[in-house]
Structures are given as C-alpha cells and as structure tokens.
Amino acid sequence: MGEAKRRKELGLPPREKQVELPKLDKESIQKKVRSTLYKYPIIPLLFYGAAILSLVGGVFYFVKLYKLI
C-alpha cells in the first residue's frame, strides 16, 4: 500500500473508490423482449423487410454507380 502511505504523508485524503456499474439481469431483459415480440409480431417482419430493402437498394446503387447494366 505504497500509494496510501504517500497520500497520507502529502496530506491528501484517501482515494475514492470507483463506482461499480449495476449488473444487467439478462433473464429479465430477455423476458421483456419476448413479451414485446409476442405482443407485436409484426416487428420481426419489419426488420427483415428493412434489411432486404437496404440490400436491394445497395445492389441497385452499386450497379448504377459502376454502370454494370
């Protein structure tokens, strides 16, 4: 404990302890997500649709940019 002795000799107060972050409860988060998905079953379809549209849009942009057609 060299630092503690050095701080005491210099007249400094003890170093404050770091605040611990709260632990995440994975099970409760998982239950909330599942209940939301059961309540609104359209959400996964919207995400899949958005992903497919972005992929098609990216391919279209790529083809248009490099004039492959």
Question: Alpha-carbon distance 60 to 49, whole Å?
Answer: 16
Q: Could you tell me if residue 15 is inside a domain?
A: no
Q: Is residue 60 part of a domain?
A: yes
Domain of 61 in residue numbering reads as: 25-69
Confidence (pTM): 0.52
Residue 34 lies in a domain: yes
Q: What is the tally of structural domains in the chain?
A: 1
What is the rounded average pLDDT of the residues 18-41?
92
Helix then strand then coil, % of the chain, to nearest 5: 70, 0, 30
Q: Is residue 1 part of a domain?
A: no
The string of pLDDT tens digits covering residues 3-15 is 888 888 988 888 8
- pLDDT of 1 higher than 80: no
- Considering only CA atoms, give the Rg of the chain: 28
Whether residue 36 is contained in a domain is answered as: yes
In a domain, 18, yes or no: no
Q: Is the pLDDT of residue 69 over 70?
A: no
20 found inside a domain: no
What is the crossing angle of helices 42-66 and 26-39, to 10°? 90
CA atoms of 10 and 25, how far apart (whole Å)? 43
